[in-house]
Amino acid sequence: MQRFKINTSLSYLVGVSGGPDSMFMLNELIKMNVKDLVVCHVNYKFRNDSDNDQKIVEKFCEKNNLKLEKLVIEQDYSLLKENFESWARKIRYDFFVEVSKKHNIKNVLIAHNRNDLVETFLLQQERKSYVKHYGLNKTSMYKDLIIVRPMLNILKSEILVALKEEKVAYAVDSTNEDIKYKRNKIRAELSENSFNKIEKEINLLNSELEKISLQVDWYVNNNMSADELKINKNLQEKNLEFIQRTIYKWLEILKKDFIIQNRRNKTIFEIAKNIKVSEKVFWEINIGDFSIIKDYENLFLIKTEIIQPKTFVINSKQDLYLAEEFINWLDLVNAIKRNKENYPYVITNDFLKYKIDTYTFGKKTNRYLIDKKIRYKNRMLKAVVYSKRAMKILNTIK
Ligand SMILES: Nc1ncnc2c1ncn2[C@@H]1O[C@H](COP(=O)(O)OP(=O)(O)OP(=O)(O)O)[C@@H](O)[C@H]1O
């Protein structure tokens, strides 16, 4: 009896921890005569009994003449700053990527089962986390790797029965019993009898999500130019959930979604709320090394260090090189020449300060910037030059 479906003529990496799910999967794959399998095992040495898990996998592979790739981690876990599970996942998937390159195999099989799917959904509900898909996806990508979960229709109870019947050895994860982990608490309180009902709810939510995603894609595709996202009334009238998804999609296209992935939802919520309610033409939210900036009707993303305010006092020609980093440096030098080189001058992009201190075409610079609707991106990336005595800006700010 074939318990799950896969294309048996393809080659696969198989993630095998030695636990019941992955040992069951491996055993089934052998019965199905899959063309080419490379077993991948990571020994985290996190638990005292982890060498035992490795031995179970080694033994099985030896007996069935399977290729095995192992990664043994030597790490002082007391120094680990992140949550172990998400750290371990990254190590594991990066290892799969490495093995995938070595063997030229694109697909990796992961042994998540039906219970995992339901539990994941309940966890998502509890954490109110931002999700792209409720429950678990049959396939997803990690870098260039295709992650396949062929066992999402199989109950844990079926797996345990089959392992016993077929006398397959597996490791028991001691931390699974520990209800201080949220997932284990959910697991302990969950009955497989409720799965049908929960799965109906998951399907309903996923189909709603698909509709929203289509609208979000449409919005982003039609309102993005040169890496910037236009914010229009249409978007501001949507609910916060829609706006958050729009930001996420935009960052995903820029390949910068990692900046919010490991953050609390607070950041993306704050951005969405600003978009919806703030009437300011300019605001800035810092996330790690980046800043998201609202600039009139546009949002742009930039490395914070690039827009740091910088001010140079230029006492003589020799000091001009100091300001070379500004993209309008030549303009600045020409403006000084036109002014007959009456040093000292100030070159700065610190617009919050110079707009108050200086004059442009006889107006307070602040007035000029507002009247001409000078973009904040230009204020931050380009500099102005003014004579220290006259406090008049000499170049044209565009
Ligand atoms: N140490 C390991 N070595 C190899 N594969 C593993 C290892 N741990 C887990 N896997 C693979 O990942 C599957 C899911 O494992 P588990 O439920 O522990 O991880 P998760 O963190 O919930 O899932 P995911 O890795 O998808 O985020 C396992 O069934 C197995 O296929």
146 pLDDT band (50/70/90 cuts)?
A: very high
18 is in an annotated binding site: yes
pLDDT at 132: 86
- What's 31's domain CATH number? 3.40.50.620
pLDDT at 67: 98
15 is in an annotated binding site: no
Residue 160 maps to a domain: yes
Asked if residue 177 has pLDDT above 80, the reply is no
Kindly list the distances between the CA atom of residue 274 and the CA atoms of 267, 279, 300, in Å, as whole numbers in the listed order: 11, 8, 14
pLDDT at 183: 80
201 and 222 together in one domain: yes
User: DSSP assignment of 280-293, as one string?
Assistant: -SEEEEEETTEEEE
20 is in an annotated binding site: yes
pLDDT at 176: 65
Domain total of the chain = 3
56 and 183 together in one domain: yes
- Mean of per-residue pLDDT scores for the chain: 94
Mutate to test the pocket of ligand 1, among 6, 12, 22 (most ligand atoms within 8 A of CB): 22
**Are 56 and 18 a contacting pair, CB within 8 Å?**
yes
Residue 176 maps to a domain: yes
236 and 375 together in one domain: no
263 pLDDT band (50/70/90 cuts)?
A: low
Q: Could you give the percent of the chain with pLDDT greater than 90? A: 85
Domain of 164 in residue numbering reads as 11-113+124-190
pLDDT at 162: 97
Residue 393 maps to a domain: no
344 is in an annotated binding site: no
Q: Kindly give the number of the ligand 1 atom that is closest to the alpha carbon of 183.
A: 22
- What average pLDDT does this structure show over 97-103? 98
pLDDT at 182: 77
21 is in an annotated binding site: yes
44 and 136 together in one domain: yes
pLDDT at 351: 96
Domain boundary among 190, 223, 243: 190
CA of 110 to the centre of ligand 1 (A): 7
Asked if residue 81 has pLDDT above 60, the reply is yes
- pLDDT tens column, 193-250: 999 999 999 999 999 999 999 999 999 999 999 999 999 999 999 999 999 999 999 9
Domain boundary among 190, 220, 242: 190
pLDDT at 139: 97
Residue 343 maps to a domain: yes
Query: What ipTM did this prediction achieve?
Result: 0.93
- What's 289's domain CATH number? 1.20.59.20
Asked if residue 271 has pLDDT above 80, the reply is yes
30 and 177 together in one domain: yes
Residue 119 maps to a domain: no
41 and 186 together in one domain: yes
How many alpha carbons lie under 13 Å from residue 271 in its C-beta half-sphere? Answer: 28
How far apart are the C-alpha atoms of 65 and 17, rounded to whole Å? 18
Domain boundary among 306, 337, 368: 306
140 and 260 together in one domain: no
Which residue's alpha carbon is nearest to atom 11 within ligand 1? 15
Asked if residue 175 has pLDDT above 70, the reply is no
339 and 272 together in one domain: no
215 and 80 together in one domain: no
- What average pLDDT does this structure show over 49-58? 96
179 pLDDT band (50/70/90 cuts)?
A: low
Residue 6 maps to a domain: no
Lowest mean pLDDT among 173-187, 251-265, 335-349: 173-187
236 and 216 together in one domain: yes
Residue 228 maps to a domain: yes
Helices (H) and strands (E) in the chain, counts: 15, 16
CB 92 near ligand 1, within 6 Å: yes
pLDDT at 178: 65
59 and 22 together in one domain: yes
Mutate to test the pocket of ligand 1, among 110, 138, 149, 178 (most ligand atoms within 8 A of CB): 110
276 and 341 together in one domain: no
Q: Kindly give the number of the ligand 1 atom that is closest to the alpha carbon of 93.
A: 25
For residues 240-273, b (16+ Cβ closer than 10 Å) or e, as one string? eebbbbbbbbbbeeeebeebbeeeeeebbbebbe
142 pLDDT band (50/70/90 cuts)?
A: very high
pLDDT at 47: 87
Residue 99 maps to a domain: yes
